[in-house]
Amino acid sequence: MGNNTMPIRYGKSTSMNPVITSIYTADPSAHVWDDGRIYIYASHDTDPARGCDLMDRYHVFSSANMVDWQDEGEILSSEEVSWGRPEGGFMWAPDCAYKNGTYYFYYPHPSGTNWNDTWRIGVATSTKPASDFTDQGYIGGLGGFAMIDPAVFVDDDNRAYIYYGGGGVCEGGELDKSMMAIQGDMKLMEGLEDFHEAAWVFKRNGLYYLTYADNFAGNNRMRYAVSVNPLGPWTYKGIFLEPTGCSTTHGSVVEFKGQWYLFYHNQDISGEGTLRSVCIDELHFEQDGSISMVIQTREGVSLAGAAASPNRSSQAYGTSACLIGGGASLLTLDDGTKVIIGLQAPEAYAQWDEVDGGIGGRFEVAVMYATAERLAKLRLIVNGRDYSLVNALSTGGSDEYTGYTSLTVRLEPGSKNRIRWSGGNGDISISGLLIHSLED
C-alpha cells in the first residue's frame, strides 16, 4: 500500500460519449451550483437489466470542466423510502433544486404494488449537493397513473415551479416556500405537440423553454416549446434531438461557463434499451432564439476551464495483498509486475481484506485492468454488499493495463474493509486496486 496517482483518468481533451461508462445511467438532470461545479442527477439502470423495474437507486456525478466526471456515489435507494412500493424498484427520472441552503432532490416512485397507477413525487433533502440526502415524504396532490419525471425550475425571482408527467400529459405548478408542497393548482401545460414524458424547463434571454420527449415510434425524439410565462401557454417550436438509437429519450439543457449543453442518454455501450448511458453534446441557439438541431458526437464536449489535477493522492493496493480464488491466478509480466488473470468464471475473484477506510465515508473504489473485449464487466462487492456489475471497456489488448473503472461507495472506519471484484463477465485481467477518499 502507498500513495499513488491516477493518471489514467486524466488527460482527455474531450469528454467522449457516453461520458459515464462504469455504470449505466439515464435521464440526466444537470445543474450548476454555487461551488462552480456541474452536477448530473441521473437514473441508474441496474445491470443485469429487468425492464425498468429494477432501477432502485440514484448516483450523482459532478465535474469542474465537463470532461472529468466524478461519481459522487449513491444518494438514495428505494429501501430508504418508507412510503414507497413495498417491492422497491422504479426509481425513475429525478431532478434537484437548490434554495436557501438546501438541496431538494425530486424523484418519481410508485407507492403501491400496482406501480404504474400509484406514482408519487418524493422529495429528499440535504445541505450538500451530492450526499447525505434524507427522504422527507412526497408532494401532496401530485401523482397517479404514469405521472413521472419531475423537473423543478427556480426562476430569477426565486419562485420555484415543478413540471412532470407521462403518457401524454404534462402538468406544471408553483411550489410553495417549503419546496415540498404545491401553491395553488397544477395546470395542464398547453401548446405542446406530441408530448410523451421527460419535461425540462430552462430560461434564456427572458424566454422560458420547455423540452420533452415525443412519441416517435420506438425511438423517441426531443422537442421543445417556448413561452414568456413559466407556466405557459407554450408555443411549439420543433424537434431538436433526433433518435439516439434508444427507445426512450430524456434530456436536460444547461449553461456552464458560457456554453449551452444538452445532457441525454443513449444505449451505445450495452445495445440494450434498459441499460442506458449519459451523453453530453453542445447545444446552440439561432439568432431568433430557436434551438439548432443537436449533433450527437462520439467525442463529446471539450474542456471547459482547467484540466483536473492528476495529482490526487490515493491508496494503491497491489496484487500481493490480494486473495484470489475460483480459478483466478497470478501472472508475472516481463517487467516483474504481478497481475490477476482468469476472471472469466463467475466464481473467480480478487479480494482485498484490509482496505483502510480512515474515519469512514465515501471512497471511489477503482480497479486497473486489461481486456481485449469490447465490454467486460466485474462485480463489485464491498463489505458483503453487492454493488452490481461495473463496466470495463476495451483497453485494446489483453496485455494493455490502461483500463480504469470505478464506483463510489461507503467504507467503514478502520482498516478492515473487504473489497471483492468477481468475474464471470468477459476475459479481463486486473493489476491492482485504488481507493480515493471523497469529502463528506
Among the listed residues 211, 244, 248, 405, the single contact to ligand FUB using CB under 6 A: 248
Q: How near is the Cβ of 93 to ligand FUB at its closest, in Å? A: 4
23 near ligand FUB, rule: CB under 6 A: no
**What binding mask, one character per residue, do residues 308-327 give for ligand FUB by CB under 6 A, x or -?**
--------------------
What CA–CA distance (Å, rounded) separates 145 from 114? Answer: 10
- 3-state SS of 371-416 is CCCCEEEEEEEECCEEEEEEEEECCCCCCCCCEEEEEEEEECCCCC
Q: Shortest CA distance to 382 belongs to which of 440, 435, 325?
A: 435
Report helix, strand and coil shares of the chain as percent, to nearest 5: 5, 50, 50
148 near ligand FUB, rule: CB under 6 A: yes
Backbone angles phi and psi of 78, in degrees to 5: -65, -25
What CA–CA distance (Å, rounded) separates 258 from 355? Answer: 42
Nearer to ligand FUB, 294 or 367 (CB): 294
Residue 342 CA, chain-centre distance (Å), reads 31
Count of residues that bind ligand FUB according to CB under 6 A: 12
Q: Are 329 and 322 in contact (CB under 8 A)?
A: no
Nearer to ligand FUB, 73 or 251 (CB): 251
SS3 79: helix
Backbone angles phi and psi of 166, in degrees to 5: -165, 175
Among the listed residues 20, 93, 390, 430, the single contact to ligand FUB using CB under 6 A: 93
C-alpha cell read off for 396? 485494446
Q: How near is the Cβ of 406 to ligand FUB at its closest, in Å? A: 23
Q: How near is the Cβ of 38 to ligand FUB at its closest, in Å? A: 21
Q: How near is the Cβ of 419 to ligand FUB at its closest, in Å? A: 29
41 near ligand FUB, rule: CB under 6 A: no
Q: How near is the Cβ of 61 to ligand FUB at its closest, in Å? A: 16
Q: How near is the Cβ of 214 to ligand FUB at its closest, in Å? A: 12
Nearer to ligand FUB, 178 or 215 (CB): 215
Q: How near is the Cβ of 106 to ligand FUB at its closest, in Å? A: 12
170 near ligand FUB, rule: CB under 6 A: no
Nearer to ligand FUB, 29 or 65 (CB): 29
- Pairing relation of β-strands 338-341 and 329-332? antiparallel
Q: How many CB atoms lie within 10 A of CB 412?
A: 16
Q: Are 410 and 340 in contact (CB under 8 A)?
A: no
Among the listed residues 71, 95, 135, 149, the single contact to ligand FUB using CB under 6 A: 149
Q: How near is the Cβ of 257 to ligand FUB at its closest, in Å? A: 27
What CA–CA distance (Å, rounded) separates 349 from 340? Answer: 9
> Residue 114: which residues within 8 A CB-CB, separation 6 or more?
none
267 near ligand FUB, rule: CB under 6 A: no
333 beta partners: none
Nearer to ligand FUB, 56 or 71 (CB): 56
What CA–CA distance (Å, rounded) separates 225 from 396? Answer: 44
43 near ligand FUB, rule: CB under 6 A: yes
CA torsion through residues 314, 320, 323, 327, sign: positive
Among positions 191-220, residues that touch ligand FUB (CB under 6 A) are 197-198
Among the listed residues 109, 250, 377, 436, the single contact to ligand FUB using CB under 6 A: 250
92 near ligand FUB, rule: CB under 6 A: yes
CA torsion through residues 21, 22, 28, 34, sign: negative
Nearer to ligand FUB, 49 or 330 (CB): 49
**What binding mask, one character per residue, do residues 377-416 give for ligand FUB by CB under 6 A, x or -?**
----------------------------------------
Nearer to ligand FUB, 27 or 68 (CB): 27
| Catalytically active residues, by annotation | 27, 197
Residues that bind ligand FUB (CB under 6 A): 26-27, 43, 52, 92-93, 148-149, 197-198, 248, 250
